[in-house]
Amino acid sequence: MIIVMASRKPEDVAYVVTRVEELGLKPHVLEGVEKTVIAVIGDERILQGVLALEALPHVEKVMPVLKPYKLASREVKKEDTVIQAGKVRIGPKSFCVMAGPCAVESREQILQTAEFVKKCGAHILRGGAYKPRTSPYSFQGMELEGLRLLKEASEKYDLPIVTEAMTVEQVPVVADYADIIQIGARNMQNYGLLRAVGKLNKPILLKRGMMSTINEWLMSAEYIIAEGNPNVIMCERGIRTFETETRNTLDIQAVPVVKKHSHLPVVVDPSHASGRWDLVIPMSKAAIAAGADGIIVEVHPNPAEALSDGAQSLKLETFEQLMNEIKPLVGIMNRTL
Amino acid sequence: MIIVMASRKPEDVAYVVTRVEELGLKPHVLEGVEKTVIAVIGDERILQGVLALEALPHVEKVMPVLKPYKLASREVKKEDTVIQAGKVRIGPKSFCVMAGPCAVESREQILQTAEFVKKCGAHILRGGAYKPRTSPYSFQGMELEGLRLLKEASEKYDLPIVTEAMTVEQVPVVADYADIIQIGARNMQNYGLLRAVGKLNKPILLKRGMMSTINEWLMSAEYIIAEGNPNVIMCERGIRTFETETRNTLDIQAVPVVKKHSHLPVVVDPSHASGRWDLVIPMSKAAIAAGADGIIVEVHPNPAEALSDGAQSLKLETFEQLMNEIKPLVGIMNRTL
Amino acid sequence: MIIVMASRKPEDVAYVVTRVEELGLKPHVLEGVEKTVIAVIGDERILQGVLALEALPHVEKVMPVLKPYKLASREVKKEDTVIQAGKVRIGPKSFCVMAGPCAVESREQILQTAEFVKKCGAHILRGGAYKPRTSPYSFQGMELEGLRLLKEASEKYDLPIVTEAMTVEQVPVVADYADIIQIGARNMQNYGLLRAVGKLNKPILLKRGMMSTINEWLMSAEYIIAEGNPNVIMCERGIRTFETETRNTLDIQAVPVVKKHSHLPVVVDPSHASGRWDLVIPMSKAAIAAGADGIIVEVHPNPAEALSDGAQSLKLETFEQLMNEIKPLVGIMNRTL
Amino acid sequence: MIIVMASRKPEDVAYVVTRVEELGLKPHVLEGVEKTVIAVIGDERILQGVLALEALPHVEKVMPVLKPYKLASREVKKEDTVIQAGKVRIGPKSFCVMAGPCAVESREQILQTAEFVKKCGAHILRGGAYKPRTSPYSFQGMELEGLRLLKEASEKYDLPIVTEAMTVEQVPVVADYADIIQIGARNMQNYGLLRAVGKLNKPILLKRGMMSTINEWLMSAEYIIAEGNPNVIMCERGIRTFETETRNTLDIQAVPVVKKHSHLPVVVDPSHASGRWDLVIPMSKAAIAAGADGIIVEVHPNPAEALSDGAQSLKLETFEQLMNEIKPLVGIMNRTL
């Protein structure tokens, strides 16, 4: 930690030095040409009150040196984490495709989609039973019945399931049915929920909040791992910016950045990033080329009748085209589909 | 709703027209010089699937005409809503000051703060018992014990309490102690939580998410009101932008914009907007001048020892200065402090 | 400057130490618990290549300690700068109102507006002769003829003029007519233009770029001052964010932040910040309360016929209302109108 | 154009109808359930004052239907534009690599870099002679001498040159030396400069402003084409967002979006997008996979001694690795390197 002093008076510097020592850290005073700086040695991460020193009179700013996450970092674990969902492996060497409708809407819809995506080579079936919706007047999901239909499709077509839990109360029932539990973008900093899924021994797909920095996203992974569940899959799904042509801006740089800082696998959700089905194929290819471990895409037998997210869902035949077009790319990146 | 067609072929237009009619809405085809447009008449708000028409072949885009919220809108209720918390009134004519520490840390801290802010003229005591923290290694609040201490201070100094509920499970216990329940910025789209507080008959302080549009924020208010609780106080607390001098960018324009669209009262949180105590006084003044119904500020007897948010907390004497400086301004805005 | 090392090997640290010494700076190595840090002493501002050390192998990041501007900073000049434009004074104690149409459109329009705003108490006449427009098909301004009409209005109603120069070639002619030269938001980093107006001895109104940090904005002021012209007025006019209810987000916090870092006066442009005439009065009030030294607002005798920016222009009677409503506020802030 | 009325009174609607007719456009009134809407038929693009109708009393908002650019649009020209710079072709089927240092610093530096990048297969030599720098204290480029050195390297190694013109005055001299003239991100809306290069018959590399929407970027291309120069290459170089891990956020979705709306070629600048050399290879791959027509990357024989942008420049051997790694990817995308 580096403390930049606003004042250079010996008594002001001495006061800050004392406060640093009281926190159990070692201060080191450096007199620059224009500023005095106090370098602080010790584990700033686990000590309360370190950043609060910015409130001290005569302190201009406090700049942390260490990253605030530990268990999620490459410094603690060098090799890539591989996550197992049923027989499917998410991590280096393979490339995982998760596909299915935004929401489960009927038995026919989910079975038809599952059969088709399996045939095309998808590995995991996605589908929402509990749906977070901006409007209270929108379709909110089939709930338990949705989970049962997902399970039926999963067993019939041998596809593990990823589906979202929105509240702490939903966690046990979702955990009963799902192979991977999704934490949605709006819940990325719902700490009660992070703790609840941290107590499970199941893979968690942690979507990045649309307003969250990579640092905060890794801190949310840290919450889950700190509770005992190391099986976190990071999912980049676009961030909010000033651009309005697309629903969100896909932060494709996040893929190599997370992989540099962390050992966790990273998948990309091109459907939510763009909000437009016509960008899903090029963005899936970009994700592969950037080094992602997988994609999660929305597929619907009839997007224009979808009860949610129709505009960003692929038709069945477009999903087939996607699978055909990405195959050679996945190979070049030394992965198998 | 306006549908801009990508194609002008009669059969493509006819297909979209049919789909609109199936949704129970009335289409109206307009042939422009370069584009064909279909104006749709009916209540687009309550019909599922309207926006999904964007997934149709040959549709370029769909532009909604109506605002998506109803109960929160001025169109449904013209006069300003006044909210009562104990003897305190939040709405036009008065100006409400909510003050207290970020987190309850000890009996002495909360009692000392409550006594002081009451003496200076504050109306409501704020203080966190359950704290959402970015890092799992940070202080997470005193929980139930914190609520008890808040209650003691509230009764001793006759100050209603505002405090946060982070999860659905916390709602009943927080409701037992608090006069106003706060929904934090990170939970603004935690729909389970919104529904839970929507079932109460207590004022709700709804903080704006740091990356939420005004439209989404009003939709979250709509969730609460739609469950039966009309007592929603909107709280602007800064949005996330590229600027790094301040923790967030205070969207001061949001005050008159929300008041134009909605009948709900609006308060401003200058402490979280800036993350810097030295901006709290000028930003409190700006909030008053912009037409806000109140402010919520962090005050701590010793900010440099605060377990959270020290850098943005006012010392007691600075809070006193704030109260003195805002008095004439509140008067000019035709409000009483 | 603080260099955080990625490697702790003695030879890697020694290499960086050597490179720092070659730059004429003094390195100071600190061994932390997990990281090695090199604090660098010297004037990092004027030495080339300091930040380039981030390209060195084994360097994780470089964090500057000093602000990159000098002449614009409070550290170099403690007291507030007062700028004189004709008989008008811009700085502490007074409050300056600049008003007029977005663009000069006709002799009648500018004379009528000038007469009216003068009568209401405005101090400076604004009006564009050269207009930066997003579309090549939009009205581009009356150019030289516009300058002449501005001058006529200025002399007739005793109002100094502020108007924009868009290119280096326009600088001499604009300087002939204008009392204050405006640098528009899109040109905030047009360095040739900054240098050109830096060679004049006239006040410069420097608009903040809509995606520029406060730091970059002050760096642009530094460009002008470094050429010899210290008469820079900073103008906050809203930044670009994800919010779409308003054209830009008025960064009201920028007012006290710039005043803390710099001695230069700050004015606010509520017309461009919101893009909506109905927010101009509340935002002008917020600007005064936040400590601004003035405002610049668009006024047009007939906004719905304006050739540019009609939606954000005040009608004459609304401008009169603005002047009446801000008077008591200006007084409370210890300024005179 | 769609006008949403705030009022439904017949006289208010009639007034707006009259105003629309005065503009030479045809209004069409539609009575919805809650709102009255006026659809306007005609070429809204070339008529002044259309958007100004938003200033009318009783108008809630005006929503344009047509895109504001014409010559740059696919609607006007279906087939992809191919741009020729010397013997190099930029457009579909080929993939163009532009490489070189941020700034020309010395004869040796530019010759060594040119020789190396040519050997590795680069097509165009980049290098700045005039440099836009945030700080007036930073190296500002070798200017004319830099152009001469670029030319020498260009002729010796048979590499066309791309280099930036920052002001209108620099355009003729830069045009004398360069094969492609770059308009930098900070000048994307410097309309005088756009007009000046629009009068040339040379390819223009138009960088996206870091605060510019795709729509505004295409409008800037429209400025150039409207002056008579159709040879515009669009260059995505990252936009400014809240994320701080990377210098900018590469908007990879912009590649297919621009290609959908426009016939112009699109290249990607991964060096400026990230500001970090270690992201250049994965982001170059992502650009190829997303459908870009080329990349422009910074290469320096000794990045840690670079006078600008050292942290984002590739060492020579890393550039060689880049060229080797992208080769198979370019092939799969049906392009030749």
Question: Cβ–Cβ of A45/B240 closer than 8 Å?
Answer: no
Q: What span, in angstroms and rounded, lies between the C-alpha atoms of D89 and B65?
A: 46
Q: What span, in angstroms and rounded, lies between the C-alpha atoms of B134 and A217?
A: 9
Neighbours of A199 (CB within 10 A): 12
Q: Given this model, what pLDDT does residue A172 score? A: 96
Question: Cβ–Cβ of D253/A244 closer than 8 Å?
Answer: no
Q: Residue C46 pLDDT > 80, yes or no?
A: no
Residue B59's region, left for phi above 0, alpha for psi from -120 to 50, else beta, is beta
When computed from its CA atoms, the radius of gyration of chain D, rounded to whole angstroms, is 23
Q: Given this model, what pLDDT does residue C309 score? A: 76
pLDDT-derived band at D67, boundaries 50, 70, 90: confident
Tell me the chain D residues in contact with residue A252 when contact means C-beta distances shorter than 8 Å.
Answer: 250, 252, 283, 286
Question: Residue B288's closest chain C neighbor by CA?
Answer: C286
**Tokens for C52?**
């380039």
Tell me the chain C residues in contact with residue A31 when contact means C-beta distances shorter than 8 Å.
Answer: 41
Question: Cβ–Cβ of C307/D132 closer than 8 Å?
Answer: no
Beta bridge partners of D266: D234
Q: What span, in angstroms and rounded, lies between the C-alpha atoms of B180 and B203?
A: 5
Tell me the chain C residues in contact with residue D19 when contact means C-beta distances shorter than 8 Å.
Answer: 304
Express each pLDDT in C130-170 by its tens digit: 988 878 877 788 999 999 999 999 999 999 999 999 999 99
**Chain C contact for B289 (CB, 8 A cutoff):** yes
Q: Given this model, what pLDDT does residue B57 score? A: 74
Q: Residue A49 pLDDT > 80, yes or no?
A: no
Beta bridge partners of A239: A249
Q: What span, in angstroms and rounded, lies between the C-alpha atoms of B314 and B271?
A: 9
Least confident of A191-200, B39-48, D287-296: B39-48
Across the interface, of B53, B168, B313, the residue whose CB is closest to A167 is B168
Q: Given this model, what pLDDT does residue C49 score? A: 66
Whole-Å CA distances, B80 to B21, B74, B223, B264, B293: 38, 9, 19, 6, 11
Q: Residue C47 pLDDT > 90, yes or no?
A: no
Across the interface, of D54, D133, D192, the residue whose CB is closest to C167 is D192
Q: Given this model, what pLDDT does residue A48 score? A: 58
Q: Given this model, what pLDDT does residue A261 score? A: 95
How much is the average pLDDT of B59-88? 90
pLDDT-derived band at D198, boundaries 50, 70, 90: very high
Tell me the chain A residues in contact with residue C75 when contact means C-beta distances shorter than 8 Å.
Answer: 34
Question: Cβ–Cβ of C226/D313 closer than 8 Å?
Answer: no
Beta bridge partners of B3: B38, B62
Q: Which chains touch A (3 or more CB pairs under 8 A)?
A: B, C, D
Question: Residue C62's closest chain D neighbor by CA?
Answer: D311
How much is the average pLDDT of D141-159? 96
Side-chain half-sphere CA neighbours of A174 within 13 A: 29
Q: What span, in angstroms and rounded, lies between the C-alpha atoms of A260 and A262?
A: 6
**Tokens for C327?**
């008077």
In contact, A205 and A176? CB cutoff 8 Å: no
**Chain A contact for C241 (CB, 8 A cutoff):** yes
Q: How far is C35 from chain A (nearest CA, A)?
A: 8
**Chain A contact for C215 (CB, 8 A cutoff):** no
**Tokens for B106?**
């000890």
| Dihedral angle over CA of A169, A171, A172, A174, nearest 10 | 120
Q: Given this model, what pLDDT does residue C265 score? A: 98
In contact, D144 and D170? CB cutoff 8 Å: no
Q: How far is A256 from chain D (nearest CA, A)?
A: 7
Q: Given this model, what pLDDT does residue B304 score? A: 80
Question: Cβ–Cβ of A253/D251 closer than 8 Å?
Answer: no
Q: How far is D266 from chain A (nearest CA, A)?
A: 14
Q: Which residue has the higher pLDDT, C7 or A111?
A: A111
Express each pLDDT in A252-263 by its tens digit: 999 999 999 999
Question: Cβ–Cβ of A282/D291 closer than 8 Å?
Answer: yes
In contact, D200 and D168? CB cutoff 8 Å: no
Three-state secondary-structure class, residue C336: strand
Q: What span, in angstroms and rounded, lies between the C-alpha atoms of D290 and D253?
A: 8
Express each pLDDT in D3-24 by its tens digit: 999 889 999 999 999 988 888 8
Q: Given this model, what pLDDT does residue B244 score? A: 92
How much is the average pLDDT of D174-193? 95
% of residues, chain C, pLDDT over 90: 74
Express each pLDDT in C227-281 by its tens digit: 999 999 999 999 999 999 999 999 999 999 999 999 999 999 999 999 999 999 9
| Dihedral angle over CA of C90, C94, C95, C99, nearest 10 | -60
Q: How far is C209 from chain B (nearest CA, A)?
A: 12
* Element holding C236 (H helix, E strand): strand C232-236
Q: What span, in angstroms and rounded, lies between the C-alpha atoms of C144 and C128?
A: 11
Question: Cβ–Cβ of B283/C252 closer than 8 Å?
Answer: yes
In contact, A329 and D289? CB cutoff 8 Å: yes
**Chain D contact for C15 (CB, 8 A cutoff):** no
Q: Residue A47 pLDDT > 70, yes or no?
A: no
Residue B119's contacts (CB-CB under 8 Å, 6 or more residues apart) are none
pLDDT-derived band at C35, boundaries 50, 70, 90: confident
* CA diameter of chain D: 76
Q: Given this model, what pLDDT does residue C306 score? A: 80
Q: How far is A212 from chain C (nearest CA, A)?
A: 14
Q: Given this model, what pLDDT does residue A301 score? A: 94
Tell me the chain C residues in contact with residue A30 when contact means C-beta distances shorter than 8 Å.
Answer: 28, 39, 41
Tell me the chain C residues in contact with residue B291 when contact means C-beta distances shorter than 8 Å.
Answer: 282
Q: How far is B58 from chain A (nearest CA, A)?
A: 12
Q: Which chains touch B (3 or more CB pairs under 8 A)?
A: A, C, D
How much is the average pLDDT of D75-94? 95
Express each pLDDT in A151-208 by its tens digit: 999 999 999 999 999 999 999 999 999 999 999 999 999 999 999 999 999 999 999 9
Please work out, in degrees rounded to the nearest 5, the angle formed at the alpha carbon of residue A178 by the alpha carbons of A177 and A179: 130
Evaluate the CA torsion angle B302, B305, B307, B311 in order and state its sign: positive
Beta bridge partners of C26: C41
Question: Cβ–Cβ of B63/D2 closer than 8 Å?
Answer: yes
For residue D111, the 8-state DSSP code is H
DSSP string, A94-147: B-EEEEE-SB---HHHHHHHHHHHHHHT--EEE-BSS---SSTTS----THHHH
When computed from its CA atoms, the radius of gyration of chain A, rounded to whole angstroms, is 23
Neighbours of B203 (CB within 10 A): 27
Q: Residue D66 pLDDT > 90, yes or no?
A: no
Q: What is the model's pTM?
A: 0.92
**Chain B contact for D63 (CB, 8 A cutoff):** yes
Question: Residue D248's closest chain B neighbor by CA?
Answer: B242
Q: Residue B49 pLDDT > 70, yes or no?
A: no
Question: Residue D23's closest chain C neighbor by CA?
Answer: C305
Beta bridge partners of D182: D164, D205
How much is the average pLDDT of C189-210? 96
Q: Given this model, what pLDDT does residue A334 score? A: 96
Residue B10's contacts (CB-CB under 8 Å, 6 or more residues apart) are none
Least confident of A7-21, D32-46, D181-195, D314-328: D32-46
Tell me the chain B residues in contact with residue C256 when contact means C-beta distances shorter than 8 Å.
Answer: 278-279, 282-283
Q: Given this model, what pLDDT does residue D157 score? A: 98
**Chain C contact for A8 (CB, 8 A cutoff):** no
**Chain C contact for A37 (CB, 8 A cutoff):** yes
CA A251 from chain center: how many Å? Answer: 12
Q: What span, in angstroms and rounded, lies between the C-alpha atoms of B99 and B82?
A: 20
In contact, B255 and C282? CB cutoff 8 Å: yes
**A62: nearest Cα among A51, A70, A78:** A51
% of residues, chain D, pLDDT over 70: 99
Express each pLDDT in A267-315 by its tens digit: 999 999 999 999 999 999 999 999 999 999 999 998 888 877 778 899 9
- When the pLDDT of each residue in chain D is averaged and rounded to a whole number, the result is 93
**Chain C contact for B173 (CB, 8 A cutoff):** no
**Chain B contact for A248 (CB, 8 A cutoff):** no
Q: What span, in angstroms and rounded, lies between the C-alpha atoms of C114 and C107?
A: 11
Q: What span, in angstroms and rounded, lies between the C-alpha atoms of C241 and B302?
A: 35
- When the pLDDT of each residue in chain A is averaged and rounded to a whole number, the result is 93
Question: Cβ–Cβ of C290/B286 closer than 8 Å?
Answer: yes
Q: Given this model, what pLDDT does residue D57 score? A: 74
Q: Residue B45 pLDDT > 90, yes or no?
A: no
Please work out, in degrees rounded to the nearest 5, the angle formed at the alpha carbon of residue A318 by the alpha carbons of A316 and A320: 75
% of residues, chain D, pLDDT over 90: 74
**Chain C contact for A45 (CB, 8 A cutoff):** no
**D307: nearest Cα among A205, C48, C175, C68:** C48
Question: Cβ–Cβ of D313/C55 closer than 8 Å?
Answer: yes
Q: Which residue has the tokens 């609304």?
A: C318
- When the pLDDT of each residue in chain B is averaged and rounded to a whole number, the result is 93
Best probe of the D interface among A237, A252, A333, by most D CBs < 10 A, is A252
What type of residue is C169?
E
Q: How far is C21 from chain D (nearest CA, A)?
A: 13
Q: What span, in angstroms and rounded, lies between the C-alpha atoms of B267 and B234?
A: 6
**Tokens for B323?**
């109260």
Q: Residue D333 pLDDT > 80, yes or no?
A: yes
Neighbours of A170 (CB within 10 A): 21
Q: Given this model, what pLDDT does residue C68 score? A: 84
Alpha helices in B132-213 (DSSP H): 144-157, 170-177, 191-198
Q: Residue A225 pLDDT > 70, yes or no?
A: yes
Across the interface, of D54, D167, D311, the residue whose CB is closest to C168 is D167
Question: Cβ–Cβ of A192/B305 closer than 8 Å?
Answer: no
Evaluate the CA torsion angle B33, B34, B40, B46 in order and state its sign: negative
Residue D127's contacts (CB-CB under 8 Å, 6 or more residues apart) are D100, D101, D102, D103, D104, D110, D113, D146, D150, D153, D161, D163
Express each pLDDT in A53-101 by its tens digit: 887 878 888 888 888 898 999 988 999 999 999 999 999 999 999 999 9
Question: Residue D278's closest chain C neighbor by CA?
Answer: C55
**Chain C contact for A42 (CB, 8 A cutoff):** yes
Q: Residue C48 pLDDT > 70, yes or no?
A: no
Q: What span, in angstroms and rounded, lies between the C-alpha atoms of C99 and A103?
A: 54
Q: Given this model, what pLDDT does residue D89 score? A: 96
Side-chain half-sphere CA neighbours of D114 within 13 A: 27
Least confident of A149-158, C20-29, D97-106: C20-29
Express each pLDDT in B63-72 by its tens digit: 888 888 889 9
Tell me the chain C residues in contact with residue B271 when contact means C-beta distances shorter than 8 Å.
Answer: none
Q: Given this model, what pLDDT does residue D85 score? A: 96
Q: Which residue has the tokens 């596809």?
A: A159
pLDDT-derived band at B48, boundaries 50, 70, 90: low
**Chain D contact for A17 (CB, 8 A cutoff):** no
**B278: nearest Cα among B311, B236, B326, B241:** B311
Express each pLDDT in B306-331 by its tens digit: 877 778 899 999 999 999 999 999 99
Question: Cβ–Cβ of B328/C332 closer than 8 Å?
Answer: yes
Question: Residue C60's closest chain A neighbor by CA?
Answer: A65
Question: Cβ–Cβ of D214/A245 closer than 8 Å?
Answer: yes
Q: How far is A48 from chain C (nearest CA, A)?
A: 17
Q: What are phi and psi of D303, to 5 degrees?
A: -55, -35
How much is the average pLDDT of D289-312? 90
Express each pLDDT in A115-159 by its tens digit: 999 999 999 999 999 988 878 877 788 999 999 999 999 999 999
Q: Residue B46 pLDDT > 70, yes or no?
A: no
Q: Which residue has the higher pLDDT, B235 or B302?
A: B235
